[in-house]
């Protein structure tokens, strides 16, 4: 696995308007060209790097129990990388917030395999209307199979269709997997390190 390169000359950081709620982990979104209004019963099948097929769709209120179960299967390490600290259980308020999205300003995508959630990715539009914060978590057993990469592309397509230009994330500096996904996504991006956190800004504007 490659490391994260230092920002290239001129790869300066775009000023942020305000601190983002990095740990509120809003919505996921997905699927290349996926419709933002894709409901829980719809979605697309995608192939992982090992050829396994998983189903990607928008999250819905009926996913509450599956989301709790998914979270309970995560390793403590994955939880820390996602929530920046121990978080063994999702509160009822979190489950409510995570499973209720509007498909425009808050988008959340899930990947399913054999009737279980195996990944969740989401974005929340910030008060800067052209910017949204993304967050990802993949079941430990499914990490390294391309899911994070696929979900980022789907989220970017959905975000772009709703007028979002920049996807941002605050990621622990040690989280090379997440940073590699951002690095390899093909978007113009900046990485700005502050102490233990890397702030990433990806410009998802379509190439001209
Ligand atoms: C970070 C995360 C979302 C990435 O999703 P993923 O499906 O594992 O990522 P991908 O399979 O698309 O791979 C991305 C990169 O990480 C590498 N990678 C992923 N899992 C790996 C593993 N278990 N061992 C070694 N490398 C791994 C891939 O090889 C790839 O690197 P490359 O581009 O240099 O080849 C996922 O690993 C995860 O949920 N981690 C815990 C929670 C977390 O960190 N969330 C992010 C909070 S901002």
Residue 132 lies in a domain: yes
Domain of 83, CATH number, reads 3.40.630.30
Segment (H or E) for 77: helix 76-83
Contact 18, 127 (CB under 8 A): yes
Which residues is 131 bridged to in the sheet? 166
Establish whether residue 109 lines the binding site of ligand 1, counting it when its CB lies within 6 angstroms of any ligand atom. no
Segment (H or E) for 160: helix 147-161
From residue 186, give the alpha-carbon distance in Å to each of 103, 105, 123, 136, 149.
24, 23, 18, 18, 11
Establish whether residue 20 lines the binding site of ligand 1, counting it when its CB lies within 6 angstroms of any ligand atom. no
Residue 51 lies in a domain: yes
Residue 83 lies in a domain: yes
- Single pTM value for the model: 0.82
Residue 38 lies in a domain: no
Residue 22 lies in a domain: no
Residue 125 lies in a domain: yes
40 pLDDT band (50/70/90 cuts)? low
Count the domains in the chain: 1
Q: Mean of the pLDDT values across residues 24-28? A: 27
Instruction: State the distance from the centre of ligand 1 to the C-alpha of 79, rounded, in angstroms.
Output: 14
183-193 b/e (C-beta count within 10 Å ≥ 16 → b) = bebebebbbbe
pLDDT digits (tens, 9 = 90+) for 65-108: 999 999 999 999 999 999 999 999 999 999 999 999 999 999 99
Res 42: pLDDT: 82
Residue 26 lies in a domain: no
Q: Which range marks the domain in which residue 126 is found?
A: 44-164
What is the percentage of the chain residues whose pLDDT exceeds 70? 80
CB-based burial label for 88 (10 Å; 0-12, 13-18, 19+): exposed
Residue 193 lies in a domain: no
Higher-pLDDT residue of 29, 89 = 89
Res 17: pLDDT: 29
Mutate to test the pocket of ligand 1, among 2, 156, 177 (most ligand atoms within 8 A of CB): 177
Q: Mean of the pLDDT values across residues 103-118? A: 97
């Amino acid at each position: 696995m490659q490391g994260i390169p230092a920002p290239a000359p001129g790869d300066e950081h775009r000023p942020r308007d305000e601190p983002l709620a990095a740990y509120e982990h809003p919505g996921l979104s997905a699927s290349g060209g996926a419709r933002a209004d894709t409901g829980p019963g719809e979605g697309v099948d995608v192939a992982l790097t090992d050829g396994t097929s998983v189903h990607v769709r928008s999250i819905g209120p009926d996913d509450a129990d599956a989301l709790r179960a998914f979270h309970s299967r995560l390793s403590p390490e994955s939880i820390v990388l996602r929530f920046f600290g121990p978080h063994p259980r999702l509160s009822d308020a979190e489950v409510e917030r995570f499973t209720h999205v509007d498909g425009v300003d808050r988008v959340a995508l899930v990947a399913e395999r054999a009737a279980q959630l195996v990944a969740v990715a989401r974005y929340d539009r910030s008060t800067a209307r052209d910017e949204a914060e993304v967050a990802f978590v993949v079941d430990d057993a499914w990490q390294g199979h391309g899911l994070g990469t696929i979900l980022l592309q789907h989220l970017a397509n959905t975000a772009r269709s709703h007028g979002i230009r920049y996807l941002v994330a605050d990621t622990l500096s040690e989280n090379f997997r997440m940073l590699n996904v951002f690095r390899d996504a093909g978007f113009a991006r900046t990485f700005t390190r502050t102490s233990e956190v890397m702030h990433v800004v990806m410009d998802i504007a379509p190439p001209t």
